[in-house]
Structure 1
């Protein structure tokens, strides 16, 4: 097979697979511009017969005087706090496991790895009971505060592998210069962890922004709802679902995800590719 033929076959299948993966998003975008009666009349079509921009206007108005912009701000606040808390706690714990020697270190590390394999549903009820007794239900505390004190086992493991690739000679040189343990972390390790920190920040942003289960369980006040719960308000199985505004706001809610990926893609690839390399 000639080189040009192989190149054509490769690009044909790549573009085809890419189109299949993007089709649901393209369909949602097309449906957000269709009148209500046309959404499922010709469902496979990606070209609206008439552009219905009113879906975006109606969707942004929200419900009961609460605009969709409020849901956006709520999601932004929760996501920002979770990202900051995850970066702070996960990097500290990872530094401790990678650089410090302490009692039961191996046992605690095994427990850390075990939590990665533990399904979220197993701890759901005990966590709810705990937060209910603390009076945190219907607040952002259950969604944000655990990130500052527990971090994420997956992110901690990712950072540990990166820190192990940093030469210990840098730590020894810092100690000779009079640097404390925390000084080594803050002045030496943390600046070198920028690729991994960027990767953790991006993944933490994605997972928090898209989270539906957490806000659904802990939030009851519509004024506190995040984007995921705001989208659910458009769907009412007992009456009529507003498909046009629902698809319109779904597209709007995807914009931060696309923007983050567009501008920080190189940091995401760099952080993953360099983790664990020595």
Structure 2
């Protein structure tokens, strides 16, 4: 019995030591970027092997916040919040409606449309990138946020599947009881289903906000006006291959750009874990 306890304790120690060192390896690039944001640009690559700066200097944050071409970085943060916020609202609400339809409603070719949704979800963005650009260009949307935001209001396959799995875990008896009390299908969705799928909705919102906040390719394709750049695209402007790049300012603004995502994960972690665990989606 004593040998068993020793082996069990040893295995736990080995597991935690391995996990700790693996976590350090994974997080080191992030720590290097944060620490480099306090270094002078000339010092960053000369002392790349050193994590801590010789002296902590916040000038990179001051310079980076001034932006470029007279546009302060507050403008780019505002643009990102507009894009990510509206896209998240549209993606979550539309996906919840479609998920409810697949989970609770019966209609013709239901299996066929569900299969189409799954196929569309598996398509890489590069496959539909050119057809989408041609369509949005003919609509006159290129140069605006519409090509980035509007498609989110038509449901997203991953969120539909996530919310649908959660709805299936809700007893149908609740729907039937509400229908007996005179509740319509819309009332069942709004008053019964939506409050019960809150963890799945929050999980979808977190992922949607994160993906839209970090979306560089869409901004690169559709946005040409510097005043409309989101943070993800504005960061690229600090790197100039034809002249000197202000890496310190870039790292400083990149560090600030992580704060919204970090705060969302920190405050919504409970719902994120509950939503993923309840739907059975595992890494």
Q: CA deviation at 1:276?
A: 5.1
Whether 2:44 is the aligned partner of 1:72: answer: no
The equivalent of 1:223 in structure 2 is 227
Tell whether the 8 Å contact from 1:164 to 1:276 is kept in structure 2 after alignment. Answer: no
The equivalent of 1:9 in structure 2 is 14
Tell whether the 8 Å contact from 1:60 to 1:249 is kept in structure 2 after alignment. Answer: yes
Counterparts of 1:240 and 1:83 in 2: how far apart (Å)? 37
| Local SS of the residue matching 1:49 | coil
Q: CA deviation at 1:8?
A: 2.5
| Local SS of the residue matching 2:92 | helix
Tell whether the 8 Å contact from 1:35 to 1:50 is kept in structure 2 after alignment. Answer: no
Tell whether the 8 Å contact from 1:78 to 1:140 is kept in structure 2 after alignment. Answer: yes
Counterparts of 1:153 and 1:3 in 2: how far apart (Å)? 43
The equivalent of 2:203 in structure 1 is 199
Out of 192, 212, 217, the residue aligned to residue 213 of structure 1 is 217
The equivalent of 2:25 in structure 1 is 20
Whether 2:150 is the aligned partner of 1:159: answer: no
The equivalent of 2:35 in structure 1 is 30
Counterparts of 1:190 and 1:146 in 2: how far apart (Å)? 22
The equivalent of 2:259 in structure 1 is 255
Q: CA deviation at 1:198?
A: 0.7
The equivalent of 1:128 in structure 2 is 133
The equivalent of 1:49 in structure 2 is 54
Counterparts of 2:156 and 2:102 in 1: how far apart (Å)? 14
Higher mean C-alpha displacement, 7-16 vs 158-167:
7-16
| Local SS of the residue matching 1:39 | helix
Tell whether the 8 Å contact from 1:165 to 1:276 is kept in structure 2 after alignment. Answer: no
Counterparts of 1:119 and 1:8 in 2: how far apart (Å)? 42
Q: How does 1:74-93 map to 2 (within 5 A)?
A: 74-93=79-98
The equivalent of 1:112 in structure 2 is 117
Whether 2:242 is the aligned partner of 1:275: answer: no
Counterparts of 1:276 and 1:104 in 2: how far apart (Å)? 26
Counterparts of 1:179 and 1:262 in 2: how far apart (Å)? 37
Aligned in 2, Cα 1:252/1:74: closer, same or farther, shift over 3 Å? same
Runs of 4+ displaced beyond 2 Å? 1-8
| Local SS of the residue matching 2:249 | helix
Whether 2:142 is the aligned partner of 1:137: answer: yes
Q: CA deviation at 1:5?
A: 3.1
Higher mean C-alpha displacement, 40-49 vs 6-15:
6-15
Q: How does 1:96-107 map to 2 (within 5 A)?
A: 96-107=101-112
Q: How many residues align?
A: 276
Counterparts of 1:28 and 1:257 in 2: how far apart (Å)? 16
Counterparts of 1:109 and 1:253 in 2: how far apart (Å)? 36
Tell whether the 8 Å contact from 1:195 to 1:271 is kept in structure 2 after alignment. Answer: yes
Unaligned runs of 5+ residues in structure 1 are none
The equivalent of 2:190 in structure 1 is 186
- Normalised by the size of structure 1, how large is the TM-score? 0.97
Q: Which deviations, in whole Å up to 9, do the C-alpha atoms of 1:150-175 show, x marking residues without a partner? A: 21001101111111111111111111
